[in-house]
Chains A and B, each alone.
Chain A
Amino acid sequence: MILKEKVMKVLDTVKDPEIPVVSVVDLGMIHNVSVYNDRVTIEVMPTFSGCPALEIIKRNIELAVESIPEVNSLSVAFIRHPIWTTELVSEKGKQELKKFGIAPPEARVEGEWHVPCPYCGSVYTTMDNIFGPAACRSILYCKSCKNPFEAMKPVSI
């Protein structure tokens, strides 16, 4: 296996500490991985600017990639451009969010935001609070199965 593939493989094990089922790759945070001999440079797009997990994520990426014996020098940096949006969350990431009980980000249809309940799939849901327990999440309520749930706040440019 070439080094870049090994790096991608360990990145798949680095999860968001607040959503421990989804990797940074599936969240769409990894913009670029470049490998030059034994030197690795990783560009990461920050999700929400006030998210306290960002520094932990960066550290976890460093620890994971440093564990590959062939890596001699590593640089992990947050970049300003391009900007992370929820459209970058992969299909696999969306399914995993849903299993975890967080509705994946939905595209707005004519300004309206329809969020199906991650438990029963009903679209008979209401927004309780755009702001939730983490910068990236909102609090909703399902009127069909009577469960409160969280949804990833849609972010687009």
Chain B
Amino acid sequence: MESLEYRECLIELIYQLADDDFLLAYRGSEWLGLAPHIEEDVAFASISQDLMGHAALYYGLLEELGEGKIDHLTHNRSPDYFRNAILVELPNGTGTYLENPSYDWAFTVVRNYFYTLAKKVRLDSIKKSSYEPLQHIVQKISIEMSYHMMHWEVWFKQLISSTAEAKSRMEEAMSIVFAELGGVFSYGRIGDRMERLSLIESEEVLKERWMVYLNKENIQYSMKMKQGDGRNGIHTPHLAEALATLSEVYQSVATAEW
């Protein structure tokens, strides 16, 4: 490891990647049994399982770097220490998966498609030059992610070119997602140092690449960070609620071996 500064920036970046996949995997799992049809239920569950696996790879690396045990990092860390973007912590809709779930499929499709595109842009940048063990993890994740991309792209394209109602719902969802998409590209307070140390390229470069991949002309939205600043630990109350549910069993017998 080159220096203390390098180590600090590397760890910060891995937390961002890990927490994003972890939270979105959880939001995906809340759809289990509620997806629009049975084939989608199977597919979405499988994608969410992959995302949880990706998060586990990153947390495993953090454990090796001395950040503590994986279970502690996921189940026993205060929400202020989570580095995920606000976009992935937002609920799927109103209600919970147990009580009156009124989840928004358009929002889910747009969130997952836009997030997966952003994930691809970020991982491609890390593949070019970064910490070697992180590059290896990212190569593995990229292979699995290509299937997720195909999946969400099909949903996105079909819904946006469907009925007038579908189109207006998708546009509504896009405005919600764009309002937080800036937070996915943000690296937080030490971002300029991550860039300088060649851990990843600049936010601007990545955002531009994302727009090229989206390949939609006349897009009238711009990327913002409306409801907080996840990379700097400023979250909505939805994160604390999600983490409380996720860690309920773990917290019930704190001394148990899992």
Q: Which residues from chain A sit less than 8 Å from chain B, CB to CB?
A: 48-52, 80-81, 83, 85, 128-133, 135, 139, 153, 155-157
Q: Which of B42, B45, B141, B151 lies in contact with A49, CB distance below 8 A?
A: B141
Query: With a CB–CB cut-off of 8 A, which chain B residues contact A156?
Result: 143
Shortest distance between the CB of A88 and any CB in chain B (Å):
13
Query: With a CB–CB cut-off of 8 A, which chain A residues contact B54?
Result: 49-50
Determine if A50 and B42 form an interchain contact, defined as CB atoms under 8 angstroms apart.
Answer: no
Query: With a CB–CB cut-off of 8 A, which chain B residues contact A153?
Result: 147
C-alpha spacing A95/B47, complex, angstroms: 28
Interface of A is mostly: loop
Shortest distance between the CB of B28 and any CB in chain A (Å):
11
Query: With a CB–CB cut-off of 8 A, which chain A residues contact B147?
Result: 130-131, 153
Residues of B within 8 A of A (CB-CB), count: 25
Instruction: Indicate if B121 sits at the interface (CB-CB under 8 A).
Output: no
From B132-140, B184-192, B198-206, B246-254, the one touching the partner chain is: B132-140
C-alpha spacing A85/B139, complex, angstroms: 12
Given contacts A129-B39, A135-B46, contact A80 B143 (CB under 8 A): no
Determine if B133 and A132 form an interchain contact, defined as CB atoms under 8 angstroms apart.
Answer: no
Cβ proximity bits B52-74 to A, threshold 8 Å, 1 near / 0 not: 11101100000000000000000
Given contacts A49-B54, A128-B39, A130-B151, contact A83 B139 (CB under 8 A): yes
Q: Which of B53, B137, B150 lies in contact with A48, CB distance below 8 A?
A: B53
Q: Which of B42, B53, B143 lies in contact with A139, CB distance below 8 A?
A: B42
Determine if B42 and A132 form an interchain contact, defined as CB atoms under 8 angstroms apart.
Answer: yes
Determine if B50 and A49 form an interchain contact, defined as CB atoms under 8 angstroms apart.
Answer: yes
Instruction: Indicate if B76 sits at the interface (CB-CB under 8 A).
Output: no
Q: Which of A80, A131, A135 lies in contact with B133, CB distance below 8 A?
A: A80
C-alpha spacing A155/B146, complex, angstroms: 10
Query: With a CB–CB cut-off of 8 A, which chain A residues contact B43?
Result: 129-131
Query: With a CB–CB cut-off of 8 A, which chain A residues contact B86?
Result: none
Shortest distance between the CB of A128 and any CB in chain B (Å):
7
Determine if A48 and B42 form an interchain contact, defined as CB atoms under 8 angstroms apart.
Answer: no
Q: Closest chain A residue to B143 by CB distance?
A: A155
Instruction: Indicate if B17 sits at the interface (CB-CB under 8 A).
Output: no
Query: With a CB–CB cut-off of 8 A, which chain A residues contact B46?
Result: 131-132, 135
Q: Which of B42, B50, B56, B144 lies in contact with A129, CB distance below 8 A?
A: B42
C-alpha spacing A111/B50, complex, angstroms: 23
Q: Which of A50, A83, A130 lies in contact with B150, CB distance below 8 A?
A: A130
Q: Which of A50, A83, A128 lies in contact with B50, CB distance below 8 A?
A: A50
Query: With a CB–CB cut-off of 8 A, which chain A residues contact B45?
Result: 131
Q: Which of B51, B57, B136, B151 lies in contact with A131, CB distance below 8 A?
A: B151
Determine if A49 and B139 form an interchain contact, defined as CB atoms under 8 angstroms apart.
Answer: no
Given contacts A48-B144, A131-B42, A131-B47, contact A81 B136 (CB under 8 A): yes
Determine if B57 and A49 form an interchain contact, defined as CB atoms under 8 angstroms apart.
Answer: yes
In the complex, 18 of the A-B residue pairs with CB atoms within 8 angstroms, ordered by the A residue number, are A48-B50, A49-B50, A49-B54, A49-B56, A49-B140, A50-B50, A50-B51, A50-B52, A80-B133, A83-B140, A128-B39, A129-B39, A129-B42, A131-B47, A133-B42, A135-B50, A135-B144, A139-B42
